[in-house]
Each structure stands twice: as structure tokens, then as C-alpha cells.
């Protein structure tokens, strides 16, 4: 680890619900912290804790060589970078700009090209873990950018993240985050479907929630099956064939029982119907492949 990577001054733009707890973890960063937000009052606790506060992104870039951006959307990120008082007006060549906001991967690539014109490195760096993860320093960060830029930001990012993944070139971090959040919100939708079934069956929803959180903490939840390098069908002699075949059998059995219960209680379960139809193929152990192995 180079001296630069452990002492580079850091700037942070956007101290909202997610940005503030991340930035607080950087208050003791040896290179110092400069903060900026359109609401001057939210910077006051940071100043009291020893950070520098400035009024616009261009001023951040005069003090920082690693700049984190946590604002709302693509338009705000673009303004922070390229606007009249944007980072690129003053950023020195070699500055690394990391965007924690979840934006379009195309926007990330377009902004990286703009940054490159100024000798500035752009990294899309969306996070997963929410404000509690940020507060605890346990975020996962998915990085899209050059190896050199990623190496420079690993040390300061270690203040707020305990998992840092270099997903690939610019845009890859965002694409990983979108895939992760697709799973996240489909799971939420599945949770609402499970709640409807439980409610119709006279089951306590809060008790069910306790069981789900408890068992997912033990088993890893949906991430427990995400251990292969490919989604291709699994060959019968592959290590995962019997394991995921067993998962398929259990899943199809339990989904069928849940669907039968839903039919009796007149509860529509469209996600369960999709799941029972697609589970085997999604796991890579579709029925024809398994049936060939059945005596």
C-alpha cells in the first residue's frame, strides 16, 4: 500500500441519509476530510469533529484527491461533476472521483469519459448495506474503474466498508448493484406474497418475520445458492449437481404445498407460480438432466 493511498485527502459531497453515516466513518482518516452539502447546517457536526466544510464541489476538488459523491440521481451527479461549480473545474490530474449513488451504468461511462479529458479517474462505487451498514463500517462496495484508481481508494473505503469488490471497468460496479437490488426488491415482493398467505392462514406476520430473519441469518438467504461462476446447466458429474438438485426437489415440493394452501384459502400467489415453474432451470438442474440420472 502506497503512502499516497493511506494519506490522500478525501472530499465528501452529499450528507443525506446514506452519505452522512459514510462520511462520519471518514472523520478520522489521516489525510483529512472536506465535506460539502447544499444544506449548510448538516455540515456543522462534521466541522465540529475536525472536518473542513466548503460551499461547492469545485472547492472540494481544491482540497481533496479522492472525492466521494452521494447525491440522489444521475442529474445531480452530473451537475456535481460538470456543472458551473463542479469538480472538473478545479480537480487536479490524478484525482479519483467515486460515485456511491446508484445511477445508470451508461451515465457512469459518459461521466468517466468527461473526467478522462481532465486526467481525472472516475469510479462507480455503489454500496449495499444501508445506513446501518455505513454506521457500523460494514458496507459492501462494488467498484467499476481502473485497477490504479481502485488501489488508491481501498484504504479510505475500508473506513466504512468491510467488503470491497472490484467488479470490472467503469459501469461494472453499477451493473453489479442493479443485479443485487433486483434480487433485493423481488425478494421484498416475495415477502409480501408470503405475508398474504400467512395472514389468510391465521399466522402471526410478526412471528413469521422473526423466523425469516433468524433462518436467513443462519443460511445466508438467497445468496446461499450464489456460489457458481456461471448460470449454465450443470453437468451430472459436477460437484454442484446433486446439491442443487436436492435444493430443486425441496423447493418444488414446498412451493407446490404453498400453492395448494393458497388455492384452498383463495390467495393468489403469482410469484410462487413463477418460482415453481422456473426454479429447476434457474438452478441449472432442469428436470431432463436429472431424469437421465434416475434409474
Which of 30, 101, 22, 96 lies closest to 66, judged by CA? 96
Report CA-CA distances (Å) from 58 to 2, 85, 128, 166, 275.
26, 5, 28, 28, 50
CB atoms within 10 A of CB 34: 22
Alpha helices in the chain (DSSP H): 3-7, 19-25, 44-48, 57-63, 74-82, 105-116, 130-136, 147-157, 172-200, 205-219, 239-265, 270-283, 287-293
Q: Is 210 a catalytic residue?
A: no
Q: Within 13 Å, how many C-alpha atoms sit on residue 185's CB side?
A: 5
Task: For strands 139-144 and 127-128, give the pairing.
Answer: antiparallel
Q: Rounded to an integer, what distance in angstroms lies between the CA atom of residue 170 and that of residue 29? A: 26
Which one is catalytic: 177, 210, 253, 292? 177
Which of 95, 79, 89, 127 lies closest to 4, judged by CA? 95
For residue 137, what is its C-alpha cell? 463500517
Q: Is the dihedral of CA 69, 74, 77, 81 positive or negative?
A: positive
Q: What residues act catalytically? A: 177
Amino acid at each position: 500500500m502506497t503512502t499516497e493511498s493511506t494519506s490522500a485527502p478525501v472530499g465528501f459531497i452529499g450528507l443525506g441519509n446514506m452519505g452522512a453515516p459514510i462520511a462520519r466513518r471518514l472523520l478520522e482518516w489521516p489525510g483529512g476530510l472536506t465535506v460539502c452539502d447544499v444544506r449548510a447546517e448538516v455540515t456543522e457536526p462534521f466541522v465540529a469533529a475536525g472536518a473542513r466544510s466548503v460551499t461547492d464541489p469545485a472547492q472540494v476538488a481544491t482540497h481533496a484527491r479522492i472525492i466521494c459523491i452521494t447525491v440522489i440521481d444521475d442529474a445531480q451527479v452530473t451537475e456535481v461533476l460538470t456543472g458551473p461549480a463542479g469538480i472538473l473545474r478545479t480537480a487536479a490530474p490524478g484525482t479519483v472521483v467515486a460515485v456511491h449513488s446508484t445511477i445508470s451504468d451508461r451515465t457512469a461511462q459518459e461521466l468517466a469519459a468527461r473526467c478522462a479529458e481532465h486526467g481525472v479517474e472516475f469510479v462507480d462505487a455503489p454500496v449495499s448495506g444501508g445506513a446501518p451498514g455505513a454506521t457500523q463500517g460494514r458496507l459492501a462496495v462494488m467498484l467499476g474503474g481502473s485497477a490504479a484508481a481502485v488501489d488508491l481508494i481501498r484504504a479510505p473505503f475500508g473506513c466504512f466498508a468491510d467488503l470491497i469488490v472490484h467488479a470490472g471497468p467503469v459501469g461494472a460496479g453499477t451493473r453489479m448493484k442493479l443485479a443485487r437490488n433486483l434480487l433485493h426488491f423481488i425478494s421484498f415482493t416475495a415477502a409480501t406474497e408470503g405475508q398474504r398467505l400467512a395472514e389468510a392462514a391465521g399466522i402471526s406476520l410478526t412471528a413469521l418475520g422473526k423466523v425469516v430473519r433468524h433462518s436467513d441469518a443462519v443460511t445466508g438467504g438467497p445468496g446461499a445458492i450464489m456460489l457458481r461462476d456461471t448460470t449454465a446447466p450443470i453437468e451430472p458429474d459436477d460437484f454442484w449437481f446433486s446439491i442443487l438438485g436436492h435444493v430443486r426437489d425441496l423447493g418444488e415440493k414446498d412451493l407446490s404445498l404453498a400453492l395448494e394452501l393458497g388455492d384452498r384459502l383463495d390467495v393468489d400467489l403469482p410469484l410462487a407460480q413463477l418460482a415453481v415453474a422456473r426454479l429447476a432451470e434457474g438452478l441449472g438442474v432442469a428436470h431432463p438432466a436429472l431424469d437421465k440420472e434416475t434409474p
